[in-house]
Structure 1
Amino acid sequence: MNAPKSICIIDDDPIYQLITKKIIEKSQLFSQILSYKNGKVAIDSLKAIQSAEEFPDVILLDIDMPEMDGWAFMNELQRMDFGFEKKPAIYIASSSIANEDREKANSFPEIVGYLCKPIDRDILERIHLENPKD
């Protein structure tokens, strides 16, 4: 089994995105990095994907974003039919430590983990090991 090939960052903080991308690149754990500034841009881009190979293996999703927050993104993602079986492993990546957010994350079967920002190499390695791909 091979490790996940692509990772997607959905977050409105450009500094966080830049730093996280650099950590991912330096780790060499993922071959492709996608990034979107909010859930709406991400959903629109994901809807345009034509094959399972193009779809991200892992999504790091922020909760609090303008235009479409993480919860609205999850609701929209659940309604979508991509026409292929591949499902990404979705991790909430948030600075929120509120129990309500963790409980809400648990209500989505697609969300496999709740990570506190900032994301570091140890977290990426854990994600990498938890999500082997054929």
Structure 2
Amino acid sequence: MCKLVVIDDNPTDHYIMQRLLHNNYNCEQATYTFDGRLVLDYLEENKDTGPLPDVILLDLDMPQLTGWEFLDKLESFNAETNKNVRVHIMSSSIRTADVFQSKKYNCVNSFMTKPLSRDLVNQVCEQANPYHNN
């Protein structure tokens, strides 16, 4: 079962994701936050003993810590701890440069354009299970 974290600064996108995950049997737990720094802090605090998320759904355009800054820090975390926390970018951007830049990160599994579909979210949850980090 997938443990999922959604990082997005838009409460409407949180609500949409909650609806998409409703009755999704592949997703054991979903956590929502507006600030990627909280997720980075959680990862650091639980890197040795606690459960880590199987997958993170990440928005790129956020006011505090951008998605790109989050990815930079997550790449360092994964390398330093030998973990494999995976990210799926979800963005309303259709800029080719964003897709190209996302491919530079080992932790990025896909680039998805909002709005996401229930089938796509289900597929992400199904694929996340092999990346379980506990």
Query: In the alignment, is residue 93 of structure 1 matched against residue 90 of structure 2?
Result: yes
91 and 37 in structure 1: CA distance in 2 versus 1, 3 angstrom threshold: same
Show structure 2 runs of 5+ residues with no match: none
Alignment correspondent of 2:39: 42
- State the shift of 1:82 in Å: 8.4
- State the shift of 1:57 in Å: 0.4
Give the RMSD, CA atoms, in angstroms.
2.2
TM-score normalised by the chain length of structure 1:
0.85
28 and 81 in structure 1: CA distance in 2 versus 1, 3 angstrom threshold: closer
Paired residues in the alignment total 131
Counterpart Cα distance in 1 of 2:26 and 2:68: 27
Show structure 1 runs of 5+ residues with no match: none
TM-score normalised by the chain length of structure 2:
0.85
- State the shift of 1:81 in Å: 5.8
1:100-111 residue pairs with structure 2 within 5 A? 100-111=97-108
Alignment correspondent of 2:62: 65
Q: Does the 8 A contact of 1:38 with 1:69 survive in 2?
A: no
Counterpart Cα distance in 2 of 1:104 and 1:83: 22
1:114-125 residue pairs with structure 2 within 5 A? 114-125=111-122
